[in-house]
Chain A
């Protein structure tokens, strides 16, 4: 989606290979089986939009060496050489990889989006993390982690995690939509957006960072953020009350009169449906009223052919 929108540069990190088991998802094709996912992705994306710059790394970001390189690429891999990237998008399928991204971004103060689809494939979420400003991924550890349960116990032996291309596409769409809003500065970026496919429920909220977050860099970023906020000049909200203009004199008795009476306006608007907040009617139908028959066409004895030739003669 970003490639189709003409994003400047994409850096892809993944250690997996394309498998036939991935074909129920959206992106890869059977003939790409065996290729590394980043390479297969790059080839497809280049064909879609040759103007996008790519940098692909076929490695596991959670290992020591790779992690340092990964951090370097976030710091220096921007479109303009030596500048940081604009945004990191986490589209990974496990806790370790998410924490690796969280650690890197907290350390660098890099804004990023977390995204995911649940094991049963019928819910998902995206989360926008601005280090110091919003909750990081370590601020509220998941229950299994808080209680030190092994994540592997979640996966039952011999049972595959469910996956649906639909849920993935919906979540991916939400993710990219918010990326576009952030990068191009329009609308409101969602800090958290959930997707419950069974009920079609989409909760959103904003989460504050945890002052006792386990990640020291998160706490450091929180302090920096508060300092920055304190340094900002205070915006004072003063309600401007418009004074009603009263003229002392009105020698010529000029006054504003509406062209239509209230009754006329109401008739023209017709019945207005009760709408939920944020929804407005684009137009309304006028209330039914007796029509003046003289405004209508008269019944005619002429045939269509007669009328057609009459039209032609004009």
Chain B
């Protein structure tokens, strides 16, 4: 289900301790700190492995996240906006990561561009509550989704390289 490379990068993401959602006050602040620490570590790891593939930031409350992700296919970079909300039931339920600009272009997506994660991701998330956080959702959810879907979308001509200007983020 999860390939070795993903497993390896996953193992390097620190796990989270606090089981708290956005309605849990101080506890959520702790959780949010942990989320940021894990994300920072994950992005650093990715950079070190020359596999930098996303940036995320959140609103002050840490309930809404947005940023960019990109995928290299045949030496061309395809970039997409990422966004998601932290559900009130987080971390029991995972965030529903969305790529709004791909809405309607693939069947592996719900309304609003939420990527379809049911099969490969949800069970994995469920058995790792509360240790998994946003970084894990990116590594196990969005990452594999992009790897499967984007080449197909490009092949079908639904996504073209010109569509998105090569901008920023790749530092």
Contact = CB atoms under 8 A, between A and B. Distances in A.
A311 B57 contact: yes
Contacts, number: 59
Nearest to B58: A308
Interface string A131-165: 00000000000000000000000000000000000
B95 to A, nearest CB: 16
Contact of A296 (B17, B29, B56): B17
Interface in A267-314: 282-286, 291, 295-298, 300, 302, 304, 307-308, 310-312, 314
Given A296-B14, A304-B62, A311-B57, A284 B36 contact: no
Contacts of A296: 14-17, 131
Given A304-B36, A307-B36, A314 B57 contact: no
Given A282-B123, A297-B15, A297-B16, A314 B34 contact: no
Interface stretch (B39-47, B77-85, B101-109, B160-168): B39-47
B38 interface: yes
Contacts of B37: 297-298, 300, 307
A99 B124 CA distance: 56
Main secondary structure of the interface of B (DSSP, over half): helix
A296 B38 CA distance: 9
User: What interface size band does chain B fall in?
Assistant: 20 to 34
Contacts of A291: 15, 131
Contacts of B124: 283
Contacts of A297: 14-17, 34, 37-38, 41
B126 interface: yes
B55 interface: yes
Contacts of B17: 296-297
A312 to B, nearest CB: 6
Contact of B14 (A285, A286, A295, A302): A295
Interface string B58-78: 101010000000000000000
5 contacts: A297-B16, A297-B17, A297-B37, A304-B33, A307-B40
Interface of A: 282-286, 291, 295-298, 300, 302, 304, 307-308, 310-312, 314
Closest 8 CB pairs of A and B: A283-B123, A307-B36, A297-B14, A297-B37, A296-B15, A297-B34, A295-B15, A314-B43
Given A307-B40, A312-B57, 17 more contacts: A282-B123, A291-B15, A296-B131, A298-B14, A298-B37, A300-B37, A302-B33, A304-B36, A304-B62, A307-B33, A308-B57, A308-B58, A310-B40, A311-B39, A311-B57, A314-B40, A314-B171
